[in-house]
Structure 1
């Protein structure tokens, strides 16, 4: 039972790290997309 609790804790930590990385990637994509839209608006 203790092993299960330990693996569960490690799994939660991994999911938290994955979620943080995904949020970082989404934010970066949104920034580049808004920058692209701004450039499109400037050139057209």
Structure 2
């Protein structure tokens, strides 16, 4: 049982890390999209 719990904890840690990394990677993309949408109508 302890082994399963440990593996589950590692999986949760990995999933949370992936979510955080994806969020951080998405932030610059969102900012660029916002700037592009703002610059678009001006042209």
| Equivalent residues, number | 41
CA drift at 1:43:
3.3
Partner Cα separation in structure 1 for residue 38 and residue 10 of structure 2: 42
Cα RMSD (Å): 1.2
Q: TM-score, normalised by structure 2?
A: 0.75
Q: TM-score, normalised by structure 1?
A: 0.74
Flag structure 2 segments of 5+ consecutive residues without an equivalent: none
Q: Secondary structure at the match of 2:17?
A: helix
Higher mean Cα deviation, 32-41 or 4-13? Answer: 32-41
Segments of 4+ in structure 1 off by > 4 A?
A: none
